Amino acid sequence: MATTKTKPGSTVDSWCTKCKLVLAHTVEAMVDARITRVHCNTCRGQHAYRPDAPRAGGKAAKAGEGRRSAPKKAVAAAPIRSEYETLLRGRTADKARTYATTERFAPGELIKHSTFGIGVVIGERDSVKIDVAFPDGQRVLLHGR
């Protein structure tokens, strides 16, 4: 259910690509609850909807759009650290195999890396690369060389 009050014909504030200002615009087109095209009430120019000035940063513009269109997406990805701990739960580091590029590792295996510490293989990217979760984040390692 779209509960947003904004609809084609509504007036919204948008960055005008011609006036180079945030001005009142009229909504021309929407996809789901998201404004896609607007026209500037000042210069009548049509362009893509942009809630913030470009200099405010892509992040700010994205956050604004997200808030308007998808209020449910409040929490982003879980911190890497807790994901790693979940993967490691109930397992002991002494089961870890020492990492070497000549060895092959399967998803789910624990590995012991001389630099990064204990890691969990979370996936095989292709025949020579594996994704491994380490305490400080995810890395791509070579295997089976």
Q: Which of residues 78-137 bind Zn ion (CB under 5 A)?
A: none
> For residue 117, what is the DSSP state?
E
Extract the tokens encoding 131. 């994704």
What is the spatial distance between Cα 125 and Cα 73, in angstroms, rounded to a whole number?
A: 28
Tokens 């879980």 found at: 78
User: Which H or E run contains 62?
Assistant: helix 58-69
Extract the tokens encoding 134. 């380490």
Q: Which residues pair with 28 in a beta bridge?
A: none
The answer to whether residue 62 forms part of the interface with Zn ion (CB under 5 A) is no
Q: Which residues pair with 111 in a beta bridge?
A: 97, 119
Residue from 2, 7, 11, 18 touching Zn ion (CB under 5 A): that is 18
Q: How many residues bind to Zn ion according to rule CB under 5 A? A: 7
Q: Which stretch binds Zn ion (CB under 5 A): 18-26, 49-57, 59-67, 102-110?
A: 18-26
Q: Which stretch binds Zn ion (CB under 5 A): 33-41, 47-55, 89-97, 131-139?
A: 33-41
Minimum gap (Å) between residue 41 Cβ and Zn ion: 8
Q: Which stretch binds Zn ion (CB under 5 A): 12-20, 53-61, 64-72, 108-116?
A: 12-20
User: 25, 63 in Cβ contact below 8 A?
Assistant: no
Nearest CB to Zn ion, comparing residues 13 and 136: 13
The answer to whether residue 40 forms part of the interface with Zn ion (CB under 5 A) is yes
Residues that bind Zn ion (CB under 5 A): 16, 18-19, 40, 42-43, 45
